[in-house]
Amino acid sequence: MPMFVGVSFPIFSYKVFTYSIPEELKKNMAIGIRVNASLGNRNLTGIIVQLNPRNSYKGAVKQIQSIVDSEPVLDEPLWKLIVWMSKYYFTPLGNVAKTVLPSRLSAQYNPPSNWFASVIENADIKNMDKVSTVAPIQFKILKKLSECKEFIQVATLKNLASNPLGVCRLLEEKGLIILEKKPIYPDVTRLSFNSIPKKIFFTEEQEKVLHNLSLELKNKSFTAHLLHGVTGSGKTEIYVEISKKVIQLNQTVIILLPEILITPQIAGRFKAEFGETVALWHSKLTPPVRSWTWKRICLGKIKVVIGARSAVFAPIKNLGLIVVDEEQESSYKQEYPAPKYHAKEVALMRGRLHKAMVIMASATPSLESYYNQIKGKFTYHTLLNRYGGAKYPQVFVVDMKIEQEESGKFGQIFSGLLLEKIENRLQKSEQIILIQNRRGYAPVFRCNDCGEMEMCIRCHITLTYHKVGNSLHCHYCGFRKKAIELQCKKCSGYNLGFLGIGTQKVEDSIKESFPNAKLARCDFDTVRSFESVTKVLEKFRLGKLDILIGTQMIAKGLDFENVTLVGIINADTGLHIPDFRAGERVFQLIYQASGRSGRHKKPGEVVIQTYNSDNPVIKNGTKLNLKKYYNIALYERQELNYPPFSWITKLVCSGIKKSTVQREIENVYSELNGKFRGLAIIGPALCYREKLRDRYRFQIVFRSDKSKDQNGRKLHRFLDLNFGMEKNKMNRSGVKLSLDVNPVSLQ
């Protein structure tokens, strides 16, 4: 009897395509299995989304060519999550499925095999001595193998013979060695710190939080929690302990982290408790490690998955707990490509579908989460004290305008106070973290005569100078060029110079001021290899480095016992960006960075350099006064009717020709304006970064207030009606329209 399936492909189409199933594949068909099939002139991998006993399509029906998975790699809740994401983020089902289930991964993956050799016990090696002159290469390999009691990979013997496998086969024929083909499993031990078991004695605060969370676990239903704990309060130990209780219930755990830099330390802690049932998942894993890890997750051998935002989709079964650590971080938001999901939103929905517990945790929660706990939408837990009696660091604020006037030195990187503190810590063999939230050497290359700046040819963005490689980089599209200009292209002047400070410049200045200090830099330019990052952080943890320099990625989540000084080179970075979340981000960065200092027995200090010491964000950030700043920020948001007091969605129109893009977005505005009572349409206007990757960008912001709970749903229905599956207007007149639901930025 014929059988048909509906298949969705990772293309920008909401259509589901009908295929028939060959007889030999019928027993394997199920929703959630990936298949290979022909679509037009292409062979693509799609996912089965429907099982149909009859063919409802009137045209010719093609057959499925083959299957990727022998059984579904997702359970029913994960499949429902894909469907929800497709509707909520206005993204075709196949594109969402591709995000959740990467096409190059399969539960059928087998690691490559290689030949291994070992000397047979009691082999007559002395007899080989007699013929060493006749077969010298065989003798060398046999001697090498005899020195090791275990199997040796044959390929490692190439320094002894051009064809070691052929030589080993001859030795096997003589009954001297054994040859075996064995799979080579990826080495995942270098992806985390060495696991050291700890005996933890919980504080009264921690005991109270654990008791309340444990009571919720017994209900076996979806619950959402906000764990607000100051830096160094022991939130990680809460995650570990509650994970133990979840695993005892035969359930599994996902731990989400905002930066891959944090994963080695937390993974080491979890591996100390749960051994090889812990897996890491993020973009920096090598293809063999990703494939091997994916298979082990699918086979149910993993109990805890730790990773960046994509780990929220891990096909782990019997999910009982999701932890979103540093939940305020914008890195949880995928900006490109679609779906433009936020891992925190997805975690909450996946928790609901699995009837699991979701814990959002931070020392500086997002204003939305902070407001939601006030409204009672999240169960609120607090840790107000640092663990082990550690004290909060003493904070020093340096007004760099006054510093410059007093010293007569302009454009300096370090204040006298920060240099003095660094020298003091180096003498005491204590460690230092320096944070400058700009990578490269200098953000601007400018003519000092006419002001002309080197701009990206594809984006309306200044190029950043990188001293390493003597080149100018665009940090948005990746364009690069050699910095060989000696003359201004506009005024023909020779007075060219650099403006601003990047991490490379900080590194050079530290080397010049403290030539004997051992230091390392951690930013996007140095995190190309995850193993090398792990190695740097491990060296810093073991005290083999004195100073760690980096961007915001080292400002959170890291816990080093000997760090007693944190220096924030320029606390104003990002403060004046025209975005309603700019102040919140700067405050959180100052607060989080300060929390890296003095986390254990040794007292810590923080030096914060600023040119805006009277700004409320800087003033409250340097005083670590979270409650006061959040009250100010919430009042401002309420006055402007921005989140958390409203729902917003951003529509970006982009295209090659500026006038065409502007005309099209004005047409969209005319079509939609006034159609929805209670909806504000802000714009149209040029985006803050008006040109990226050769495309001009205009935007409209749809805003619906939260005075009534149904307004969010009304806004979504309005967008679905005008941009969803039924009226897909995402491409008009060569202009691409892109919806961003709950954007983290309006830039």
pLDDT tens across 100-149, in order? 887 677 767 788 889 999 988 776 655 565 556 678 888 888 888 888 87
CA-to-CA distance for 606 and 590, rounded, in angstroms?
A: 10
Interior/surface letters 184-198, b for 16+ CB within 10 angstroms, e for the rest: eebebeebbbebeee
Q: Any idea which residue has 């040819």 for tokens?
A: 457
Q: Any idea which residue has 């909806």 for tokens?
A: 679
Element (H, E) at 91: none
CA-to-CA distance for 632 and 587, rounded, in angstroms?
A: 12
Q: Distances in Å between the alpha carbon of 578 and those of 53, 62, 362, 679?
A: 55, 52, 25, 22
Residue ranges, the chain, pLDDT below 70: 1, 12-13, 103, 107, 123-133, 189-196, 485-486, 528-530, 708-709, 725-733
Q: Is the dihedral of CA 108, 111, 116, 122 positive or negative?
A: negative
DSSP state, residue 608: E
Torsion angle defined by CA atoms of residues 533, 534, 537 and 539, in that order, rounded to the nearest 10 degrees: -110
Give ∠ CA 438-441-444 in degrees, rounded to 5. 80
Q: Are 432 and 563 in contact (CB under 8 A)?
A: yes
* pLDDT for res 201: 87
Q: Which two tokens stand for residue 441?
A: 């050497």
Look at residue 599 and give its three-state secondary structure: coil
CA-to-CA distance for 731 and 728, rounded, in angstroms?
A: 8
Residue 196 gets the label, from left (phi > 0), alpha (psi -120 to 50) or beta, of beta
Q: Distances in Å between the alpha carbon of 565 and those of 234, 251, 388, 625, 645?
A: 20, 41, 19, 20, 38
Q: Distances in Å between the alpha carbon of 589 and those of 333, 582, 637, 644, 733?
A: 17, 11, 20, 20, 42
CA-to-CA distance for 688 and 700, rounded, in angstroms?
A: 12
Q: Which two tokens stand for residue 659?
A: 């006038």
Which residue type is seen at 419? L
* Gyration radius (Cα) of the chain, Å: 29
CA-to-CA distance for 117 and 149, rounded, in angstroms?
A: 10
CA-to-CA distance for 560 and 265, rounded, in angstroms?
A: 10
CA-to-CA distance for 608 and 13, rounded, in angstroms?
A: 50
Q: Distances in Å between the alpha carbon of 425 and those of 420, 476, 549, 556?
A: 9, 37, 15, 21
Q: Which two tokens stand for residue 322?
A: 């999701």
Q: Is the dihedral of CA 169, 171, 176, 177 positive or negative?
A: negative
Q: Distances in Å between the alpha carbon of 372 and those of 224, 365, 375, 378, 597?
A: 11, 11, 5, 6, 30
Interior/surface letters 397-428, b for 16+ CB within 10 angstroms, e for the rest: bbbbeebeeeeeeeeebbbebbbebbeebbee
Residues counted in the chain: 747
Element (H, E) at 355: none
Cis peptide leading into residue 515 (ω within 30°): no
C-alpha closest to that of 413 among 388, 392, 438: 438
DSSP state, residue 533: H
Q: Which two tokens stand for residue 444?
A: 């601007």
Q: Is the dihedral of CA 414, 418, 423, 425 positive or negative?
A: negative
Q: Which two tokens stand for residue 673?
A: 């304006």
Q: Are 664 and 655 in contact (CB under 8 A)?
A: yes
* pLDDT for res 124: 62
Q: Distances in Å between the alpha carbon of 718 and those of 265, 318, 684, 713, 746?
A: 45, 36, 18, 9, 20
Whole-model pTM? 0.88
CA-to-CA distance for 102 and 109, rounded, in angstroms?
A: 13
- With a CB cutoff of 8 Å and minimum separation 6, the contacts of 336 are none
CA-to-CA distance for 224 and 380, rounded, in angstroms?
A: 9
CA-to-CA distance for 413 and 632, rounded, in angstroms?
A: 31
CA-to-CA distance for 687 and 672, rounded, in angstroms?
A: 20
Q: Any idea which residue has 């060219």 for tokens?
A: 496
Element (H, E) at 633: helix 626-640
Beta strands in 541-637 (DSSP E): 547-550, 563-568, 605-610
Which residue type is seen at 432? I
Look at residue 744 and give its three-state secondary structure: coil
- With a CB cutoff of 8 Å and minimum separation 6, the contacts of 151 are 116, 117, 118, 180, 182
Residue 294 C-beta-side C-alpha neighbours within 13 Å: 26
CA-to-CA distance for 309 and 324, rounded, in angstroms?
A: 9
Q: Are 227 and 381 in contact (CB under 8 A)?
A: yes
Longest dimension (CA), the chain: 98
